[in-house]
Amino acid sequence: MATTRDIVVVTAGISQPSSTRLLADRLTSATVEALDGHAVEASVRVVEVRDLAHDLVDNLLTGFPSPRLRSAIDAVTSADGIIAVSPVFSASFSGLFKTFFDVLEMDALRGMPVALGATGGSERHSLALDHALRPLFAYLGAATVPTGVFAATDDWGDPDAAADLARRIQREGQQLGDSVAGRSRPAVSDPFADPVPFSRLLAGDD
C-alpha cells in the first residue's frame, strides 16, 4: 500500500483566472511528480484565500473562525507540506495572503516543509521572495525549501523565459517532494489514553 502525504496549496490570487494560481498549479504538479519518484502518493487540497476574504475579516474582528475558515486552517496545520504563492503588491505579499497566516496559532507551522512562490508584473518585484515571504515563514518556524520561484508576466510568454521558469519550478517541486517524503509524521497522542485515576483527582495529587 502506497504511503500518502497531504499537500495543501495556499494561493492568494485576486483575479480569476490568475497567474498566481497558475504558478501554484505548476508547483503542485512538480511536487506530485517528485513524490511519485519516492513511491509516495500525494493528496492535494487547494485553499483559495480570495474565497475566504470575508471569513478572515470576521475572524480578526471576533476571534472566531467560520466553519469554512476552520476547515482551511485545519488542512494547512495538519498538512505534510505546503505550497504558498502570493501576488506581489508594493514589494511584498498581498494583504489577504498575510491575513490568512496571521490567524494561525503560534508554532502551527513549526518544522513544516514549505515551497514559496510569488508573481508580479516585472522582475523588479522578485526580491519580495527573500525580503518578505521567506522572513514571514522563518518567523512561523516553517522549513522553507532553498529554491523560491518568482514568475513575472514575461516568464509566461517569452519562450526562453518560460523554459527557465519551468526549470525553477521543477527544482523547487523536487526539493519539496524530497523534504515531505523524508519527513516523519508527528505522532498523534490520545489525551484520554492514560487518564488520571479519579481517586487521585479527589485526593488532589494531580
Question: Looking at the 3D structure of the chain, how many domains does it have?
Answer: 1
> Which pLDDT belongs to residue 57?
96
What HEC string does the chain produce? CCEEEEEEEEECCCCCCCHHHHHHHHHHHHHHHHHHHCCEEEEEEEEEHHHHHHHHHHHHHHCCCCHHHHHHHHHHHCCCEEEEEEEEECCEECHHHHHHHHCCCCCCCCCCEEEEEEEECCHHHCCHHHHHHHHHHHHCCCEEEEEEEEEECHHHHCHHHHHHHHHHHHHHHHHHHHHHHCCCCCCCCCCCCCCCCHHHHHHCCC
Mean pLDDT across 22-41: 97
pTM for the model stands at 0.87
Q: What is the pLDDT of residue 109?
A: 97
Mean pLDDT of the chain: 90
| Distance from C-alpha of 16 to C-alpha of 24, rounded to nearest angstrom | 13
Instruction: Report the pLDDT value the prediction gives residue 108, as an integer from 0 to 100.
Output: 96
Q: pLDDT class for 158, splitting at 50, 70, 90?
A: confident
pLDDT of residue 33: 97
Q: What is the pLDDT of residue 190?
A: 47
- Enclosing domain of residue 148: 3-203
Q: Whole-angstrom Cα distance, residue 34 to residue 38?
A: 7
In single-letter form, the type of residue at position 86 comes to S
* Spatial distance between the Cα atoms of 21 and 6, rounded to a whole number of angstroms: 19
131-156 average pLDDT score: 95
pLDDT score of 125: 80
Q: What is the pLDDT of residue 194?
A: 56
* Other residues' Cβ atoms within 10 Å of the Cβ of residue 172: 24
- 185: buried, middle or exposed (CB in 10 Å: 19+, 13-18, 0-12)? exposed
Per-residue pLDDT reduced to its tens digit, 177-195: 999 998 866 544 444 555 6
What pLDDT score was predicted for residue 123? 80
pLDDT > 60? residue 151: yes
pLDDT score of 91 more than 60: yes
What residue type is assigned to position 172 of the chain? E
Q: What is the mean pLDDT of residues 59-88?
A: 97
User: Residue 205: what pLDDT?
Assistant: 55
pLDDT at 174: 98
Spatial separation of the C-alpha atoms in residues 72 and 46, rounded to whole Å = 9
198 close to 95: Cβ distance less than 8 angstroms:
no
Please check whether residue 95 is in contact with residue 14, taking contact to mean a CB–CB distance below 8 angstroms: no
**Phi, psi values for residue 92, rounded to 5°:** -150, 180
Of the listed ranges 24-33, 146-155, 188-197, the least confidently predicted one is 188-197
Residue 126 belongs to a domain with what CATH number? 3.40.50.360
